[in-house]
Chain A
C-alpha cells in the first residue's frame, strides 16, 4: 500500500482523499516512510518535519470527517525548498550563516500551502542562497540525482527535484532566478514551472536577486504542477512586485492539453555549439510531435539571447551583493569572533568569511565590482540595456507565435564534482532558461525523452508571454500525453538510480 501511495500523482491522491478511499495520515506516513527508506542516498531533505506533517494530516482528516469542503491539495504532501521561511522549522538556505535559524514568520507561499491543507513534509536542499545549478554549493553537501546517484539533480532547487523524482513527495516548491526550477526538473525527468514574475509571492523567500526570483511548482506530471501553481499564485499585498491580476487558468489548460492551431516558435539561438547531441535529437522529436498534434511550427530568431548569460551574471550578482548585506552577524544567524576585542566590522567580515561558501563569495564580490563607481555604466548599466533588448526580442517573437520552445538545458545531468570548481562551466547549465528570467515571463520544463548516449532525461522548455502561463500547461500537457502514449509509461518509470 505504501509504495502505491507514493507512486500516485498529486491529482490521484487528491481524488482518493476526497472520496475517502485513503486518509491524509496514511498518505503522509507513506511519504515519511519513503523518505526514511531512500533519503540517506538521495539527500533531498535538509529537514524532515515528521511531527508537524502528521499533525497537519490529522487536522485535514478531522476536517474531512466533519464534512468540511476542502481544496484539491488538502492532504497532499509537498516538499518546500529551504529558502522559504517556515514557522517551527529551520530555514538555512543551504548556508552555514543561517544554520539553526528558526524564522519567526511564514512566507506567503508557506501560509497558502498550509491554508490549502497541503502537508509540508520538510525543507529541501539547495545551492547556498539559490546560487548554483547542482546543489553542490549547499553547505550541507549535494543532493543526488535519482536516475544516477553519482550525478547532480540540478539546482538550485535540486533537493526539490530529487525529492519528487525519488517519490519522496508528489510535489515540491522551488524558486527560479536563472533556471533553478526548470533546470533541475529537466535533469531529473520531472515537470517544473517558472511562473510569470510577480505571479507568485516573494514574501518570506530569502532574497537572492529580487528582480528575478520567482517561486514555482515541481511535480511528476503537468497537471500536478498546475494544481500547485494555482494554489500558490495570486496577488500578495506583502510583496510590492506581486501582480494584481487573476491567476492564469493553468489547471484548466493542463486538462485541455490541446495544441491544435497553436503557433509554436523554435528559438534559433538556443541550439548549436555546446549542446549535447542527444538533447538536440530529443528536442527535435518533441517539435515534430507538437507539429503532428496540430501545432504550426516556425523558426524564430531572438538575436540578443546570446547576451542573456553575460547580462544575467552581472544583474544577479549585483542584486545579490546588495541583498546579502543583511547577513551582518548582528540580529540573527551566525556570529564569529565576537571576543570583546574586535569591533562590529571585523566581526561582520569574519562571520561572512566563515558563513558563506565559495560561490556566494564569488558572486558578492562580482556584484560589488559591477556596481562600483567607474564600472557601473560598463557592466551593470549595460546589462540592464541588454535586458531591455531581450524583452524586445520576446515581444517581437510573441507577435508571431503563441509560445517559444527550446531544450531546457544544453546537457543532461553532469557528474558530482565535474563542474564544482569551474564557475563558467557551471553557469552554462542555465543557458536556455535565463532569457525568461530576465524578461519576467513564464516558462516550463517537461520531460521529452532520454538522451541516447547516456540514458538520462532531457527537458523540453516552453516559454509564454507575461501572464499567459496557461499556454505553458496546454503545450506541456499535450506533449506529455503524446509522449507517455508513445513510451507506454511515464518517463520516470525508467529511472534506475534507486
Chain B
C-alpha cells in the first residue's frame, strides 16, 4: 500500500476538494495503484542527472514594457459569480472575532 484512505482525504483537503466518503472509497485504491505504477521512476539510476522542468531552455523572457488596452470593468466582472459595488463579491475569508 503506497497511500492510505486517510492520506487521500488529507490531500483532498489540501487541494480544496470536498470529497464524499463514497468518493474516497473509490479514489483511494485507484490512487494507490497509480502511485505504485509511477514509483517506477525510482528505479532509474539518475545520480548527478540535472532535472528538466522545461524543454526549451528559455529563461527570463520579457516582452517590451508597452501599455496596451486591458479588459474593461464590465468585461472583468462580467463572468463573476457575484458582484457588488464594482467588485468581486466573495464569501467571508476571516473567522468570527
The docked-state distance in angstroms from the alpha carbon of A352 to that of B86 is 25
**Other-chain residue from B17, B33, B43, B52 in contact with A391 (beta carbon distance below 8 A):** B52
Are A310 and B63 touching (Cβ within 8 A)? no
The docked-state distance in angstroms from the alpha carbon of A347 to that of B58 is 38
Q: Is A2 an interface residue (CB 8 A)?
A: no
Collect the chain A residues with CB atoms within 8 Å of residue B53's CB. Answer: 211, 384
Q: Is A330 an interface residue (CB 8 A)?
A: yes
Collect the chain A residues with CB atoms within 8 Å of residue B62's CB. Answer: 240
Are B17 and A369 touching (Cβ within 8 A)? no
Are B93 and A104 touching (Cβ within 8 A)? no
Q: Is A161 an interface residue (CB 8 A)?
A: no
Collect the chain A residues with CB atoms within 8 Å of residue B67's CB. Answer: none
CB distance from A173 to the nearest CB of B (A): 21
Write the B30-41 contact mask toward A (1 if CB under 8 angstroms, else 0). 110111011111
Q: Is A350 an interface residue (CB 8 A)?
A: yes
The residue in chain B whose Cβ has the minimal distance to the Cβ of A385 is B46
CB distance from A181 to the nearest CB of B (A): 17
Are B49 and A388 touching (Cβ within 8 A)? yes
Collect the chain B residues with CB atoms within 8 Å of residue A385's CB. Answer: 44, 46, 49-52
Q: A314-B38, A344-B92, A388-B50 are in contact. Are A307 and B44 (CB under 8 A)?
A: yes
Are A365 and B11 touching (Cβ within 8 A)? yes
Q: Is A378 an interface residue (CB 8 A)?
A: yes
Are B88 and A331 touching (Cβ within 8 A)? yes
Collect the chain B residues with CB atoms within 8 Å of residue A238's CB. Answer: 63
Instruction: Tell me what chain B mostly uses at the interface: helix, strand, loop, or mixed.
Output: loop
A47-55, A113-121, A353-361: which lies at the B interface? A353-361
CB distance from A374 to the nearest CB of B (A): 11
Q: Is B21 an interface residue (CB 8 A)?
A: no
Write the A220-246 contact mask toward B (1 if CB under 8 angstroms, else 0). 000000000000000001101101000
Q: Is A25 an interface residue (CB 8 A)?
A: no
CB distance from A57 to the nearest CB of B (A): 27
The docked-state distance in angstroms from the alpha carbon of A467 to that of B76 is 37
Collect the chain B residues with CB atoms within 8 Å of residue A348's CB. Answer: 16
Collect the chain A residues with CB atoms within 8 Å of residue B12's CB. Answer: 361, 365
The docked-state distance in angstroms from the alpha carbon of A335 to that of B49 is 44
The docked-state distance in angstroms from the alpha carbon of A378 to that of B52 is 15
CB distance from A254 to the nearest CB of B (A): 25
The residue in chain A whose Cβ has the minimal distance to the Cβ of B93 is A344
Q: Is A343 an interface residue (CB 8 A)?
A: yes
Q: Is A473 an interface residue (CB 8 A)?
A: no
Question: How many B residues are at the interface, by size bracket?
Answer: 35 or more
Chain A, range 365-397, C-beta contacts under 8 Å to B: 365-366, 368-370, 372, 378-379, 381-389, 391
Write the B42-76 contact mask toward A (1 if CB under 8 angstroms, else 0). 11101001111111101001111000000100011
Are B55 and A197 touching (Cβ within 8 A)? yes
The docked-state distance in angstroms from the alpha carbon of A76 to that of B42 is 49
Are B17 and A349 touching (Cβ within 8 A)? yes
Q: Is A398 an interface residue (CB 8 A)?
A: no
Are B30 and A362 touching (Cβ within 8 A)? yes
Are B31 and A338 touching (Cβ within 8 A)? no
Q: Is A313 an interface residue (CB 8 A)?
A: yes
CB distance from B59 to the nearest CB of A (A): 10
CB distance from B97 to the nearest CB of A (A): 14
Collect the chain A residues with CB atoms within 8 Å of residue B61's CB. Answer: 240-241
Collect the chain B residues with CB atoms within 8 Å of residue A198's CB. Answer: 56, 58
Q: Which of A310, A328, A342 is most buried by chain B, counting CB atoms within 10 A of its CB? A: A310
Collect the chain B residues with CB atoms within 8 Å of residue A344's CB. Answer: 90-93
CB distance from B84 to the nearest CB of A (A): 13
Collect the chain B residues with CB atoms within 8 Å of residue A423's CB. Answer: 30, 33-34
Are B52 and A387 touching (Cβ within 8 A)? yes
Q: A343-B92, A349-B18, A350-B18 are in contact. Are A369 and B3 (CB under 8 A)?
A: yes
Q: Is B85 an interface residue (CB 8 A)?
A: no
The docked-state distance in angstroms from the alpha carbon of A352 to that of B23 is 13
Q: A313-B38, A361-B17, A386-B46 are in contact. Are A197 and B56 (CB under 8 A)?
A: yes
CB distance from A218 to the nearest CB of B (A): 23
In the complex, the 6 A-B pairs of residues with the closest C-beta atoms, listed nearest first: A440-B55, A384-B51, A335-B81, A385-B46, A349-B18, A332-B79
Subset of 30 A-B contacts with CB under 8 Å:
A104-B71, A197-B55, A237-B64, A241-B54, A241-B56, A241-B61, A243-B58, A321-B15, A329-B81, A331-B88, A333-B81, A342-B91, A343-B93, A349-B16, A352-B15, A358-B23, A361-B23, A362-B27, A362-B30, A362-B34, A365-B12, A368-B11, A382-B44, A385-B49, A387-B55, A388-B51, A389-B46, A391-B55, A440-B56, A466-B55
Residues of B near any A CB (own CB < 8 A): 3, 7-8, 11-20, 23, 26-27, 30-31, 33-35, 37-44, 46, 49-56, 58, 61-64, 71, 75-76, 78-82, 88, 90-93, 95
Instruction: Supply 19 further A-B pairs (C-beta < 8 A) apart from A365-B15, A369-B35.
Output: A211-B54, A238-B63, A304-B44, A307-B43, A310-B39, A335-B81, A344-B93, A349-B18, A356-B17, A366-B34, A368-B11, A368-B15, A369-B11, A378-B39, A383-B38, A387-B55, A388-B46, A424-B34, A440-B55
